[in-house]
Amino acid sequence: MSLLSVRSLSVRFPVLRSWWRARALFVHAVDDVSFELAAGETVGLVGESGCGKTTLGRAVVRLIEPTAGAIEFGGIDLASLRPGQLRPVRRRLQMIFQDPYGSLNPCLTVEQIIGEALDIHGLARTREALRARVGFLLDHVGLAPADARRYPREFSGGQRQRIGIARALAAEPQLIVCDEPVSALDVSVQAQIVNLLHDLQREHGLAYLFIAHDLALIEHLSRRILVMYLGRVVEAGDTKMICRTPAHPYTQALISAVPRLDPVANRRRIVLTGEVPSPITPPSGCGFHPRCPIAEPRCGREVPALREIASGRWAACHLAWGGNRMATTGGVV
Amino acid sequence: MLEIENLRIEFETGAQPVPVLDGVSLDIGSGETVCLVGESGSGKTVTALAIARLLPCPPARYAGGRILVNRRDALRMSARELRTIRGRVVSYVFQDPAVALNPVLRAGAQVLETLALHRPEAAHTDEVISLLRWVGIPAPELRIRDYPHQLSGGMQQRLMLAMALASHPRLLVADEPTTALDVTVQAQILELLRALRRQLNMSILLITHNLGLVGEIADRVVVLYAGQIIEEAPARELLSHPRHPYTRALMKSVPELGRDVPRLEAIPGSVPRLGDWPAGCRFHPRCPVARPGCSREAPALASVAPHQRVRCPFWDHAP
């Protein structure tokens, strides 16, 4: 039984609705995405800027209204709920944001920031109870309970991200959507936050939808990943297998582009030509075909479906096979 | 090509000047690529801007040292002399091309402006087009009519590179040139830099917080922490045998593809803030191998092998 089940989710934003154009244009930010997430599990969502990963993460929490599709969380379809009905469900569904500077209200003390979540969900009846709970949460994320009276500006980036995590934990969620939670932090501080998220998951049985552009980080944290390109999932499955033998040509290029510390790692680099096309006018057929090193004529005509190419591995590519064939045609590592 | 000797820079903002760079010495040979690695507040960008004296004074103040560009001290140059090295001998590429480009000038006009200033004999559209083609901008005849906002991040960075290279500089200073870009585009830009370096025999000072880039492009690496150089070594040597505890800790704390570790080895604490540097060794409060003496005595940057310097007396006491 999965905790979260997303089916055929699409998010479109209207753009360029000008008077001489009869038809509005749309950005297809998320296009027909389906996946499942079990309780206590981490699913990694990886892709480059503009691929729709943040939009997908926000649509799951319904910070952005999905255009089509269903989001089932604990057996309830979130997409059909009215705002008032959404609140009790949101308690179990929290979010950690990328920017530790922009996501905390600078006029509120840490106690007010974390206490707000407790207030809204009626989790602290008295002022003393609230104070005790905030102190406990701060201690839990590695800050001092005395920090409750201070303001966000008095903290470093890493400490602020801890406050953001404490705020998400306050409502005792089952699932936290983490949108690039460490990419704005100093390199030497990132591991602290990653380890904290790891510990909290073990302690509370939290599930994470972990959004990042850093493949190595995703590989470290999640057992399963979704690779997105131009609003669609192009490859999904077991993290280790995908990182070792990626099946989709885009995943292959992505993995080969990651800079490595190991100078002797002798690998074939695949340098893609061109850039991610506009999601307003996506290419026909497979969205990746204009940049794909192995594209065939039919890739420009037919949209490849996400199909199971081997047990537990999905790829949206006409040419992808399970087993080792792809590893020899475009192998990496 | 470039020699920086014992450079000290302060910011005069409050009652007391705040030191930002504390005795940084580094040199770059002709055709060499040096990576300057550090986190926020380590002084890497200040070092880069200091080379052509681009720091606004005040608040910045050059408190000591020398910056020899072609054996001439930039700190003693007149404004007129400085103009002859800025852009012509030393060119810059910055992290955020969207901010560095002029939003109301067409792409071609921006490159033309650089040409008119530094190579007036080549200041015509054909040269602009060939420059844009050289840095890998497709259909340059059409692109020169575009405004910066019509170009993607990767294309904007290529345009920046075309402007920086228009004058055929001897040294390219690239400050986090790929940080704002996606990994596949980052790979394209690195590939381009490698190719240009071969063609021009140009020196490159690449500034980054990402140790991963070191193995991709650098000949030599200089690691900065809290305004000081804490380690300097040939790139391969640094990646295979990092000596300073900070470099070691940093390399262990980042996850790497294909390396299966149950838990990352985090570095405790956070980067010290400017002017709030700890006494003694500046890394000692976060150092896994710190000893009682580390908080009192500031270690010197000592040679441990040819071309290799480390600011830690216990570098060979590996944990």
Give the list of residues 6+ apart from residue B40 with CB closer than 8 angstroms, or none.
A186, B209, B271
CA distance B97 to B196: 19
Query: Has the ipTM of the complex gone over 0.85?
Result: no
- Say how many CB pairs under 8 Å bridge A and B: 132
Kindly state the percentage of chain A with pLDDT values over 70.
91
The DSSP symbol for B6 reads E
Contacting B residues, span 141-180, partner chain A, CB-CB under 8 Å: 152-155
Q: Which of A156, A243, A259 sits opposite B258 (nearest CB)?
A: A243
Chain B CB contacts of A49 below 8 Å: 153, 182
Residue A308 lies in a domain: yes
Q: Which residues of B touch A186 (CB under 8 A)?
A: 39-40, 209, 270-271
On whether the CB atoms of residues A18 and A32 are closer than 8 A, the answer is: no
Q: Which of B188, B249, B253 sits opposite A271 (nearest CB)?
A: B188
The pLDDT value given to residue A329: 40
Are the CB atoms for A70 and A9 separated by under 8 Å?
A: yes
User: Could you tell me if residue A163 is inside a domain?
Assistant: yes
Domain assignment present for A120: yes
Query: What is chain A's alpha carbon radius of gyration, rounded to the nearest angstrom?
Result: 21
**Confidence band of A268 (pLDDT split at 50, 70, 90):** low
Interchain contact B262–A (C-beta under 8 A): no
Span of A16-20, A139-143, A164-168, A192-196 with lowest mean pLDDT = A16-20
C-alpha distance from A119 to closest chain B C-alpha (Å): 32
Could you tell me if B251 and A261 are in contact, meaning their C-beta atoms sit under 8 angstroms apart? Answer: yes
Cα Rg of chain B (Å, integer): 21
Among candidate residues A144, A172, A200, the one where a domain is terminated: A172
* Helix or strand run (H / E) with residue A298: none
As a whole number, the mean pLDDT across chain A is 86
Question: Count of domains in chain A?
Answer: 2
Residue tagged 């680099």 (tokens)? A269
At A124, give phi and psi (nearest 5°). Answer: -135, 115
Q: What is the mean pLDDT of residues A216-242?
A: 92
Identify from B35, B183, B238 which residue to disrupt to test chain A contact, counting A C-beta atoms within 10 A and taking the largest count.
B183
User: Which residues of chain A have a CB within 8 Å of the CB of B238?
Assistant: none
Q: With an 8 Å Cβ cutoff, are B258 and A190 in contact? A: no
Domain-by-domain residue ranges, chain B?
1-86+173-185+197-257, 90-168
B135 touches chain A (CB under 8 A): no
Residue A319 maps to a domain:
yes
Q: What band does A18 get if pLDDT is binned at 50, 70 and 90?
A: low
Residue A185 domain-assigned?
A: no
**Closest chain A residue to B257 measured between Cα atoms?**
A216
Q: Give 10-residue mean pLDDT values along chain B (319 residues).
A: 88 83 89 90 87 83 86 84 85 84 91 89 88 84 88 85 88 86 82 85 90 87 92 91 91 84 85 84 89 87 88 78
Task: Print the domain residue range for A136.
Answer: 93-172
Mean per-residue pLDDT for A313-324?
78
| Nearest chain B CA: its distance from A208 CA (Å) | 17
Last residue of a domain, one of A172, A201, A230: A172
Closest Cα partner for B303 from B231, B222, B251, B250?
A: B231
CA dist., res. B211 & res. B221, Å (int): 9
Q: Write down the architecture of domain B1-86+173-185+197-257 according to CATH.
A: 3-Layer(aba) Sandwich (3.40)
Give the tens place of pLDDT for each residue, A42-95. 999 998 887 888 899 999 998 988 999 999 998 888 888 888 888 888 889 999
Q: Does A258 touch chain B (CB under 8 A)?
A: yes
Q: Do A261 and B215 touch (CB under 8 A)?
A: yes
- Touching check for A150 and chain B: CB below 8 Å? no
* Together in a domain, A331 and A246: yes
Residue A41 is assigned to a structural domain of this protein: no
B104 touches chain A (CB under 8 A): no
Residue among A213, A225, A261 with most chain B CBs within 10 A, to mutate: A261
